[in-house]
Structure 1
């Protein structure tokens, strides 16, 4: 459904350090660094057919997080969710909402979640869908 997800940054080098560490937990490597026609830097992290981008806003206005917006990252285990969270906090992110842990998502089953904000205030979620118990 999605081709990519993009967030803005006011300090692209700070964001690179943050996302190199955090997305490294998920197995993403170094981003492709690109400058668009206006000279603004963009970082493209590619992993498992997905693309996550960090950009300097091309309108030269300050980057700001979306009110109500969240970028969710799929994890392979509760331990990976915790590592994502801890790495984010250790690299300038902020833990938000409840501590990482198991949540009942009603008809969606149980989820192991962690929420953080990146150094620019973008809200990130690390998510693992718990296996449904055998009937």
Structure 2
């Protein structure tokens, strides 16, 4: 359904340090840096058929986080959820809501961690264990 997700930043170098570290936990590499026709800097992270982008706002207004918005990143294990969280906090992110760990999600238990990136964007690391039937 989605081709990509893009968030804005007010400090492209800070965002690069943060997302290089956090997305490395998920198997992504460093960003591909691009300069828009307008001269604004953008970062593209590609992994497993998905693209996550960070951009200086092209309208020259300050980047702001979406109130009520969350970007979820799929993890392969509970340990990867914790590593994502820890990398985020170590690189300028802020842990929010409950500590990383299990949450009841209907009939299954999910492993979740929530953080805000240095620009205030809300990120979720999520592992959904396979349920035996």
Q: Taking structure 1 as the reference length, what is the TM-score of the superposition?
A: 0.96
Query: Where does structure 1 differ by over 4 angstroms across 4 or more consecutive aligned residues?
Result: none
Q: What does 1:105-116 align with in structure 2 at a 5 Å threshold?
A: 105-107=105-107, 109-116=108-115
State the distance in 2 between where 1:68 and 1:130 align.
26
Shift of 1:131: 2.0
Pair 1:45 & 2:45 matched = yes
Shift of 1:30: 1.4
State the distance in 1 between where 2:36 and 2:86 align.
33
Q: What does 1:16-27 align with in structure 2 at a 5 Å threshold?
A: 16-27=16-27
Shift of 1:31: 1.1
State the distance in 1 between where 2:6 and 2:98 align.
25
State the distance in 2 between where 1:50 and 1:12 align.
21
State the distance in 2 between where 1:32 and 1:102 align.
34
Aligned length: 133
State the distance in 2 between where 1:130 and 1:29 align.
25
**Which structure 1 segments of 5+ residues have no match?**
none
- Specify the alignment match of 1:124 in structure 2: 123
Q: Taking structure 2 as the reference length, what is the TM-score of the superposition?
A: 0.97
- Specify the alignment match of 1:102 in structure 2: 102
State the distance in 2 between where 1:30 and 1:116 align.
20
Cα shift readout 1:20-45 (whole Å, capped 9, x = no counterpart): 00000001011111011110000000
Report the RMSD for the aligned CA atoms in angstroms: 0.8
**Which structure 2 segments of 5+ residues have no match?**
none
Q: What does 1:56-71 align with in structure 2 at a 5 Å threshold?
A: 56-71=56-71
